[in-house]
Structures are given as C-alpha cells and as structure tokens.
Amino acid sequence: MRDETLFSGNQLAAVLNALPDPAFILTRSGRYMAIFGGIDSRYYHDGSHLIGKTIHEVLAADKAAWFQCEIDKALQDQGLHIVEYGLEARDVKGLETDGPAYHLWFEGRIQALDFPVNGEDAVLWVASNITARKELETRLRMLSEIDSLSGLLNRRKLMNVLAEHFDTYERYDTPMSMLIFDIDHFKRVNDEHGHLAGDVVIRTAADVCRCELRSNDAPARLGGDEFVVLMPHTTCAQAMPIAERLRQRIAETLHALGSIGDGATISGGLSEFRPDDETCEDVLKRGDDALYQAKRAGRNRIICAG
C-alpha cells in the first residue's frame, strides 16, 4: 500500500484551529504551550495571549491550585480525565471588574500526551462551555425541590432533608427540632375573600419564615396551609423562642394585610428527635399531634410535644 499523507501540516493546523471548543496544551508545571480551536464566539474569546504564561500567572491562587491538581491527576492516570468546573471574573487575574457578571461552567476533558512538550510531561485540555446546561439543571432542580407558590422547599425535598438529619442524629446524636404549623381560620380566608387571597396569606407567611429564621433552618410548605421548619443542632428548649418569635411576626404581618388577614394567626407543634424514634417520620407525627393540641387549646399558640 502506498504511503500517503492525509493532511499537510498547514491543513492539519487548519483542522485543529477550526475546533468549536478550545484545546490547550498544558505542561506539568501549568504552562500554556499551545491553544487550538475555540472559534465558537458565542462562548469563547481569543486565548492566544495565554501562550507562554502559567496558570499561576493567569488565575487566582486557589483556582490555579485546582487546575494544577487536575493536571497532576491526568498525568498520573494516563487516561481520559473529565471534570466540571466554574469560573468567575474574580478567578481570572485582571478581570475582577471587567469580566462577566455571571458564573461560567465548563467541562474539561484532559488527556495525558505520550510525548514531552518543551521538556515536560504535558496534557491536552479541551474546555467545553456548559453554562446553559448547568442553568437548565438548576431550573429543573428548583422545579423538583421548590414549592411554586411559597418559594420554600416542597414536601418531597423536605422529606429528603429530614431523612438526612435523622441519619446524622442516629450516627452522631446531633439534635434537631421540627416545627409544624398551619394558618388559623385559613378556610374562612378562602371562603370570604377567594383563593387568590389565600395565596397571598400563604406567600406572606413564607416571606416571614425567610426573614425571621436562621440561615441553617429549613422552612418548607408541606401542602395547603401547612408549613414545616427544620431546625438542625437545636433542642426543643432552644427552638421554642424561635418558634414563638415566628408565631408573633406572622400574626403581625398577616394583620397588616387588612381584612384578608383578620384572625389569620398560626398554631404549631414543636418536636425533636428522640432515641426511640424508628424513622424520621416519627418526629413529624409527634409535631402534628402537638399542632392539633394547639388547635384544641384555642389556636394562636405553639405546643411542644410531650
């Protein structure tokens, strides 16, 4: 068979430079030795100025250290190494104020080369912009985890988080309290003012939860006018002042709505994990029982499960 060259050197260079995604040649020390492709101007800028520089000269220290670690892994494994990573303006030296205001996401496909470059081991790093995919994943995750009316966690996500806290409790005896509450006379709000008014009451209660609770607390809408607040690393005794403050603030805020919030206070039950709990739902059942005790006792109060 006759030996033929498929491409000339110039043609091969043209093929490489026509790649939509940029492909970098990086040495073990993190030096950019060459760049090919990246012609998709929707996602990439000209990176030719990087050639000859090191990642430590281009990137912030923590981000450069991460890139260096991934180069080392690819060289050690000698196989295809795939990673996902984010870049912000502050990660790139000189772009703190001039770079994009949003977070960019990339998939890096890193392959060790079987020949040295400039006397060093080297890798081929192909960077693909996956920001649109990440944004879609975020929106889908929000749809699956966030209640559309209140903006709080939905029931499905609540039960997942509750199960995680229960596992931590069983392993490390880490306390967690849970408040379950609903809105007093909510049916009357719907009957007298309509379901849109009821939606306003639910959103208002959710807004107060976001404002009044601690950053590590997890408020959720269980369904209808029922809410749950998970308070990790908190005993019932510690949680009661938090729950009382929430009760008072919701009552004040609903009252400020005028006629639709008239009498729309909350009643709640407070419970915590116990050593004899068999599942995470046991704490939910005790809190629910305490909630109905609060209803029978006259509403607008929080009762701690006995």
Q: What domains can you pick out in the chain, each with its CATH number?
A: 9-137 (3.30.450.20), 146-304 (3.30.70.270)
Phi, psi of 261 (to 5 degrees): -100, 5
CB atoms within 10 A of CB 190: 17
Q: Which residues of the chain have pLDDT under 70?
A: 1-5, 95-101
Residues 6+ apart with CB under 8 A from 85: 66, 105, 106, 108
- Is 144 exposed, middle or buried, given 0-12, 13-18 or 19+ CB atoms closer than 10 A? exposed
Give the pLDDT score at 101: 62
Q: Would residue 303 be called left, alpha or beta, if left means φ above 0 and alpha means ψ between -120 and 50 degrees?
A: beta
Measured distance CA(39)–CA(41) in Å, rounded? 6
Nearest to 286 by CA among 300, 301, 274, 298: 274
User: Where would I find the H helices in 18-105?
Assistant: 55-58, 61-77
**Strands 218-223 and 226-232, how do they pair?**
antiparallel
Amino acid at 13: A
Measured distance CA(169)–CA(164) in Å, rounded? 9
* Residue 19 contacts residue 129 (beta carbons within 8 Å): no
pTM: 0.66
Give the pLDDT score at 142: 81
Dig out the tokens for 301 from the structure: 């109060």
- Quick check: helix, strand or coil at residue 299? coil
* Residue 222 contacts residue 205 (beta carbons within 8 Å): no
Give the pLDDT score at 1: 46
Give the pLDDT score at 100: 60
CB atoms within 10 A of CB 235: 13
Give the pLDDT score at 252: 96
Q: Which residue has the tokens 């050593």?
A: 275
Q: Which residue has the tokens 């960019």?
A: 104
* Residue 228 contacts residue 180 (beta carbons within 8 Å): yes
Give pLDDT tens digits for 25-58. Answer: 999 999 999 999 988 888 788 888 999 999 999 9
Residues 6+ apart with CB under 8 A from 7: 15
